[in-house]
Chains A and B, each alone.
Chain A
């Protein structure tokens, strides 16, 4: 009877306005059957976390192309935890150098990192996988 859908918050924290990627991803996730909430540009970490809370999303995807990911992602993770949303899948996309990527992953500031050139399918497949695992376990 249940008609659950994966809800994803796609967010642009920080000041960079490059939303080509984020919009392509939003469309791709929609076409994969998910409900995608988009914050719009230029969001503070507080706005992103609060939106995730109100929308009760399963996934938060951050798009950051300004190089501020090492500041913004941990801050948003922290705020999500404060909101009791430590289980939300946190994905970071953007220009993330390999070293930073490892740091984000090992510190638990992101569950996965996607960089330019990663096909859409990889992102949708990753999300679907996570939810299969979490519902079967």
Chain B
């Protein structure tokens, strides 16, 4: 656009602004859910510096702002992947088969807390937690039951597991072998993102250094033997759930991503050997446009840095592929049916932002694990968006909007500013050690809560239009027998397996852990002879030690 025209628009905008000044404004502050002010109007003035080819490009090509595939949802819709798991392996296996029958296209496993923390169901620490927040998996035997009659060469599986990711992944691989599926045939994702555990999700086991080593061991093993596996899902989801702003989610997630790339490079791997298998996982919060811009900015930043800073050449190393989940923290316990509407707009932002797969929360998730009915509505939400709303017809349909492009650029700039501050602190690990990232998130969470408590931020049914009607919603009950049954089965397993072989494997694993061998083959060996998760984690703890949190508020 030529200068003369811009000047004219500028003058007109000033006139408009004057007129607006006279008008009444609503009392609610015009800020995003992240507390960031947005203008009432965006014009060509806000996108004057935008260079189409350099900043946006075409879908499927650098810098991938508009999407990673050339034809996006025209070719294939996003994967509808509902995260689920509860009770024991039998219960979850039934739920998985139900979801596949309902048209879900991929599985996503939620493990219970003991499994996430590397404890067996029979640990003192597991009391009351077995099968509660997800499915209890102690050994390969549980994994076999979990995927009974589910063909692992056809269904891809995402597993939300971090501290003990290597162990659960090995169980999955060993189970595939038992089904007769070659490792080169299995596909899926392990979350395996330990950095955000230290800052946000807090399910850690080992200190950062050995944790990073396990991750690079997985990178190396997968690139040789399990080429279809996404070895890490670098997650902003939990950072956001811990209370960060959208820009912080974007910045800290990408900073973590770059830290993994550097770890891989430092472990002697060629960047294009492992980077194509890195994937991401974002939150879809309630602020519609802010979220869309976050995804677009994420793709652009990733592509630029991977190319310019890390010298990646394979286009797949430059493409940011990501999974999205709607924001659990945006849901309200009051009038839970309203959560269906929240989830719908959040899902829509993820789709308009070009996600590769999507989980939509169920309305009752703020209260308990979802019932079958609630899960079905959540899945139907995605199907309505995909097949009825028409939003999947046109690629990146909001591109070119003055607002969208300005906000995308602004979020990129905010992220770059965080990268600079993290660099000044000596990198991500050092920033975590100094508590910088944790403190930024804690501050944002506190500010948000105060805004809600002061009624500056409206949450419908919570601090406005709240009726004290009793809630009438059916909740999923976890059978209290689950813990007992699981303990019984674990006891039987320990009796029937070859104890000597287990002990040998664990001793061997410890030896390798103390040296610098790739640990994956050793862990595989151990899970094949039914060593339990807790036993393997304990063996590694003996060598690696355990992480202790920093007191930050």
Contact = CB atoms under 8 A, between A and B. Distances in A.
| Complex: A in contact with B (CB within 8 Å) | yes
Interface string B125-136: 111110011000
A117 B332 contact: yes
Residue of A30, A98, A115 with most partner-chain B CB within 10 A: A98
Contact of B128 (A23, A71, A120): A71
Contact of B124 (A44, A66, A97, A117): A44
Interface string A86-128: 0000000001011000000000000000011101110000000
Contacts of A119: 452-453, 463
A78 interface: no
Nearest to A116: B333
B362 to A, nearest CB: 13
Given A41-B202, A98-B471, A120-B453, A71 B553 contact: no
A67 B117 contact: no
Interface string B225-244: 00000000000000001110
Contacts of B523: none
A115 B471 CA distance: 13
Task: Identify whether the interface residues of A are mostly helix, strand, loop, or mixed.
Answer: loop
B125 A95 contact: no
B553 A17 contact: no
Interface in B109-155: 113-114, 116-117, 119, 124-129, 132-133
A35 interface: no
Contacts of A28: 449
A95 B113 contact: no
B125 A15 contact: yes
A72 B450 CA distance: 29
A15 B116 contact: yes
Contacts of B332: 116-117
Contacts of A27: 442, 446, 553
B133 A16 contact: yes
B45 interface: no
Contacts of B119: 15
A71 B459 CA distance: 32
A120 B448 CA distance: 12
A70 interface: yes
Nearest to B475: A97
Interface string A35-60: 00010111010000000000000000
B161 to A, nearest CB: 14
Interface string A6-45: 0000000011111110011011101000000010111010
A66 B471 contact: no
Contacts of B429: none
A97 B449 contact: no
A68 interface: yes
B369 interface: yes
Contacts of B197: 17
Nearest to B329: A20
Interface string B440-481: 001001100110110000010011000000110001001000
B334 interface: yes
Contacts of B446: 23-24, 27
Interface in B200-227: 201-204
Given A42-B125, A67-B133, A116-B366, A20 B333 contact: no
A15 B126 contact: yes
Contacts of B268: none
Given A14-B128, A20-B242, A70-B128, A42 B463 contact: no
A130 to B, nearest CB: 20
B417 interface: no
A27 B119 CA distance: 31
Interface of B: 113-114, 116-117, 119, 124-129, 132-133, 197, 201-204, 241-243, 329, 332-334, 366-369, 442, 445-446, 449-450, 452-453, 459, 462-463, 470-471, 475, 478, 549, 551, 553
Given A24-B243, A71-B129, A95-B333, 20 more contacts: A14-B129, A15-B114, A15-B117, A17-B203, A17-B204, A18-B201, A18-B241, A18-B242, A23-B445, A23-B446, A24-B445, A26-B553, A28-B449, A40-B549, A41-B202, A68-B128, A71-B128, A95-B368, A116-B333, A120-B453
15 contacts: A15-B113, A15-B114, A19-B202, A20-B243, A24-B445, A26-B553, A66-B113, A66-B133, A68-B129, A70-B128, A75-B128, A95-B367, A116-B332, A117-B462, A121-B453
